[in-house]
Copies of this chain bind each other. A is one copy, B any other.
Amino acid sequence: MQKFENYLNKFNKFLNNQHFNFEPNELYQPITYTLALGGKRIRPVMALLACDIFGGEYAKVIYPAMGIEIFHNFTLLHDDIMDDAPMRRGKETVCRKWDSNIAILSGDTLYAMAYKYIAQTDSVYLPRILDVFNKTAIEVCEGQQFDMNYETQKNVSIQDYLNMIRLKTAVFLGASLKIGAIIGDASQANIDNIYYFGEYLGMAFQLQDDLLDVFGDESKFGKQTGGDIITNKKTYLYIKSFELATGKTLEQLKKNFILNHPNNGKKVKKIKAIYVELKIEQLVQEEIKRYYLRSLDFLDKIMLDDKNKVELKSLANRLIKRDF
């Protein structure tokens, strides 16, 4: 666990030493603003950690790790335009504080900057790192498009949903570990196994996030609960409840899951009660556990000494074992 904290501090120090005060201001101010908003920095630290446990050097992985974090921030910038989101990490989004054109273009610039950092990878690893990065970038876009489609699409299955979060969230966690492992000169089997460890962990992580959005402790979760219910987001919980509900419960579900509900507080309360009635929380918990255990199966397969495996195990617990 200590390694994660150490690398988190090291990464934040590195990031704070990067300056982007270039011209035109209208382009670079939103970039500086976005990167200063903070965030958990999970992905770059995963890359640093993975490189470390396979014996790789920090100096070789810090630039691609920075590329990973910048790319993540680019996706947030553009997602916030598409979702018309007013707030991000407790502050105004770029598309609101400036405008959506500036958010498009400063996002595009962040994207190019991400590749500028990635390009500083040692040339021995560069082609492989680029392959992972490009593949992941495309998958993240595909995931976001599926997510947008599902807003209006009527029939979204659990399978559709799981594939969407795999593309939008999980693969990027896997890729972050993979990039670290490649630069740490891990064997191909270890690289593959750490990737799937990260991907399955990412699935559990996103499902847990969906659960926290409904049942989280607001003071710990850091944002108001019920947001997904208010926007009728087709999460695992939503889809599962329609799968299971019958009779009056189904009627109530349909009655309340309408857009522009006259009383959102009431809507959240009603839906939450139905979720409790249908034991949705337990079902999601079981699904989270399944993905979590699957990720540990891949962890088992990684050829590493116990000391380093413990680091990955604590990473998994850090991501999954949150209070709810």
Contacts and interface: CB of A to CB of B under 8 A. Distances in A.
Interface string A100-117: 111011001101110110
A130 B113 CA distance: 12
A149 to B, nearest CB: 6
Contact of A105 (B22, B82, B135): B82
A95 to B, nearest CB: 11
Given A27-B145, A112-B141, A119-B134, 8 more contacts: A27-B141, A27-B142, A82-B101, A108-B141, A112-B134, A116-B135, A116-B138, A126-B126
Q: Give chain A's interface residue range (CB within 8 Å of chain B).
A: 35 or more
A105 B145 contact: yes
Interface in A123-146: 123, 126-127, 130-131, 133-135, 137-138, 141-142, 144-146
A103 to B, nearest CB: 9
Interface in A58-110: 78, 81-82, 100-102, 104-105, 108-109
A131 B123 CA distance: 12
A130 B119 contact: yes
A24 B149 contact: yes
Contact of A24 (B104, B112, B127, B142): B142
The oligomer's copy count stands at 2
A80 to B, nearest CB: 11
What 10 A-B pairs have minimum CB-CB distances, sorted nearest first? Answer: A112-B137, A119-B130, A27-B145, A109-B141, A82-B101, A116-B134, A112-B138, A24-B145, A115-B134, A123-B127
6 contacts: A27-B145, A78-B108, A82-B104, A108-B137, A116-B138, A126-B130
A34 B22 CA distance: 32
Contacts of A116: 134-135, 138
A133 B81 CA distance: 26
Interface string A9-22: 00000000000001
A31 to B, nearest CB: 10
A23 B111 CA distance: 23
Contact of A78 (B102, B104, B149): B104
A26 interface: yes
Contacts of A102: 145
A275 B295 CA distance: 70
B126 A113 contact: no
A293 to B, nearest CB: 29
A109 B127 contact: no
A137 B115 contact: yes
